[in-house]
A = this chain, B = another copy of it.
Amino acid sequence: MSKNLLTAPNGGKTILEVGPVRIGGEEIVLIAGPCAVESEEQLTQSGLHLKKAGVSILRASAYKPRTSPYSFQGHGLEGLKMHKEAQKKHGLLTSSEVMDPRLVQEAAEHVDILWIGARNMQNFDLLKEVGKCGKPIILKRGASATVEEWIMSAEYIMAHGNPNVILCERGIRTFETSTRYTLDLSAVAMARLKTHLPIIVDPSHAAGRTDILDVLCKAAIAIGADGLIVEAHPNPKESVCDAAQALSLEQFEEIAKGLKPLAESVGRKICL
């Protein structure tokens, strides 16, 4: 394997500035929102509520990778337009997953940050395409990817022209079944040693349940994560996908408040 050149630490840690948000700095960045874009109203309501809870980036995907072809596949371009409209009201930065290299440009024109899901971490043509799109990219670790492979996928994006990569740990596949995946926080520490990139943690997909989410968020900050990406929905039971792992907006707010003292104890800030 060729040496990674662009992701290597080189004695520092990168702070990524996206509009008013600094990712990788002192402040812990909170990203939250529904799994999928369902309606403009859903986005507006989520954005307005989550803003008060310290969130600076709204998550909600217009495209959904689903195990079954018969499950809801996302609203696509319509969903992206809903993001654009809702943003006029809530004012947060917006983000969506992108899955198809042909749709990267379309997505990049409508939201502020794109993410690559775990299933596509080694979809190399997609990585090359987001390397050319000019928007910050959250790169989720594949469920069976080593830390080394994860970093090499970041290297793909950067080698194709986009230095704005944020690594995201979201759980690996193991034999344990009490959680949906196994959140590998050591990997966050290892990626910190090996790269200069900001790193965030997605405890929602890892756990697949909400009753341990507060302590997973705390542990993620303790391990050194620069941010969290969490599923929160105005009405979790009605979520079109992954309902079991979605917090209500109120639950998220409660958890976010509880993170402040811990963040400060490790020299970080949560602004809310």
**Chain A residues with a Cβ under 8 A of chain B:** 1-4, 65-71, 73, 99-103, 119-120, 122-126, 142-144, 146-149, 152, 155-156, 159-160, 172-179, 182-187, 189-190, 193, 206-207, 211-212, 215-216, 218-224, 261-262, 264-266
Q: Besides the contacts A103-B125, A189-B215, what 6 more A-B pairs have beta carbons closer than 8 Å?
A: A68-B155, A69-B124, A177-B177, A179-B186, A179-B190, A219-B223
Set of chain B residues within 8 Å of A2, measured between Cβ atoms: 68-71
* Smallest beta-carbon distance A184→chain B, Å: 5
How many identical chains are in the complex? 4
Give the residue name and chain of the B residue nearest to A148 (CB): B178
Set of chain B residues within 8 Å of A190, measured between Cβ atoms: 178-179, 212
Bound CA span A69–B101, Å = 17
* Smallest beta-carbon distance A62→chain B, Å: 13
Bound CA span A221–B221, Å = 12
Set of chain B residues within 8 Å of A122, measured between Cβ atoms: 65, 67, 119-120
User: A124, B99: Cβ atoms under 8 Å?
Assistant: yes
Set of chain B residues within 8 Å of A266, measured between Cβ atoms: 218, 261-262
Set of chain B residues within 8 Å of A172, measured between Cβ atoms: 174-176, 182
A-B contact pairs, 29 of them (CB 8 A): A1-B71, A2-B71, A3-B70, A65-B122, A65-B124, A67-B148, A67-B149, A67-B152, A69-B159, A69-B160, A99-B123, A100-B125, A119-B124, A120-B122, A146-B175, A147-B178, A173-B175, A175-B175, A176-B184, A177-B177, A178-B190, A179-B190, A182-B182, A183-B186, A186-B206, A189-B212, A193-B212, A219-B222, A262-B262
Bound CA span A183–B254, Å = 27
Set of chain B residues within 8 Å of A207, measured between Cβ atoms: 186
Contacts A102-B101, A176-B172 known; A69 to B186 CB distance under 8 Å?
A: no
User: A211, B193: Cβ atoms under 8 Å?
Assistant: yes
Contacts A100-B101, A262-B265 known; A69 to B223 CB distance under 8 Å?
A: no
* Smallest beta-carbon distance A37→chain B, Å: 17
